[in-house]
Amino acid sequence: MEKNIQDTADFTTRLLLENKAWSQEILENNPDFFKTLSKAQHPDYLWIGCSDSRVPAETIVNAKPGQIFVHRNIANQVINTDFNCLSVIQYAVAVLKVKHVVVCGHYGCGGIKAALQSQSSSLMITNKWLMHIKDVYRLHKEELAGLDEEAMLKRLVQLNVMEQVQRIAHTSIIQTAWKESQFPKLHGWVYGLENGLLEELVTLDHTTKLESIYRYDD
């Protein structure tokens, strides 16, 4: 037990030291960087990604602090009753005026794989979250049934991303913004852990024709 505590302390100490070194390096190259950054943020992108530690938004697109507004959760989902995610979208679109919203999934997603398993009574809250992925599977079961396990998992990752983009488009937040400014564009991307590359699956904008039952007409 004492060794585990010491290992944890050593790790957190290292993180703090890494932070200090990073800050010093930034200041050496640009002494006013943090002073300028602290005044306001003007990101052009909202990134809705997976919580997976292997898919850090800013790192994989080589972005700098202040360029991307980020929300992450298990399997990069947009759920209509998740006020955390919806408030992020509303703030990004209505206040920050982002020009693009990116939903980024990734191959090898543990959330997608777990959603295809039987539910565990020890993970009651997680089960409820994964239920939305199970619904995506159910909607596309006929297509997925003809694939082997690896191909099915990859395809479900893609289908899940595309479903989340549709859900964003169905919100009053986006439809109001489209009427007022024709932005933001919505993008569905998937990231490959094996090669570090992004693939675009779908793009929606103010010209997209939504099904009437999802449209806000007022």
Does pLDDT of 1 surpass 60? no
110-115 own/partner pairs: CB under 8 Å, 24+ apart:
110/52, 111/50, 111/74, 111/75, 112/75, 112/153, 112/156, 112/157, 112/160, 113/153, 115/75, 115/156
Which of 85, 104, 109, 170 is catalytic? The answer is 109
For residues 112 and 197, membership in a common domain is answered with: yes
Residue 6 pLDDT level (bands cut at 50, 70, 90): low
Q: Look at the chain and report how many structural domains it folds into.
A: 2
DSSP assignment of 73-109: ETTS---TT-HHHHHHHHIIIIIS--SEEEEEEETT-
Region 32-38: mean pLDDT is: 93
Which of 14, 54, 135, 215 is catalytic? The answer is 54
For residues 93 and 191, membership in a common domain is answered with: yes
Indicate if 7 belongs to the active site. no
Indicate if 170 belongs to the active site. no
For residues 91 and 156, membership in a common domain is answered with: yes
Does the model's pTM come out above 0.85? yes
For residues 84 and 191, membership in a common domain is answered with: yes
Percent of the chain with pLDDT over 70: 97
Average pLDDT taken over every residue of the chain: 94
Region 143-163: mean pLDDT is: 96
Indicate if 14 belongs to the active site. no
For residues 186 and 115, membership in a common domain is answered with: yes
For residues 72 and 159, membership in a common domain is answered with: yes
- The DSSP symbol for 181 reads H
Which of 71, 106, 167, 187 is catalytic? The answer is 106
pLDDT, residue 4, reads 65
- Residue 205, both tokens: 């904008």
For residues 32 and 61, membership in a common domain is answered with: no
pLDDT, residue 3, reads 59
For residues 90 and 138, membership in a common domain is answered with: yes
Indicate if 50 belongs to the active site. yes
Burial of 70 (0-12, 13-18, 19+ CB in 10 A): middle
pLDDT in tens, 7-29: 767 889 999 999 999 999 999 99
Supply the CATH number for residue 201's domain: 3.40.1050.10
Structural contact between residues 69 and 92, judged by C-beta atoms closer than 8 angstroms: yes
Indicate if 85 belongs to the active site. no
Query: Domain span at residue 94?
Result: 40-214
pLDDT in tens, 102-132: 999 999 999 999 999 988 888 889 999 999 9
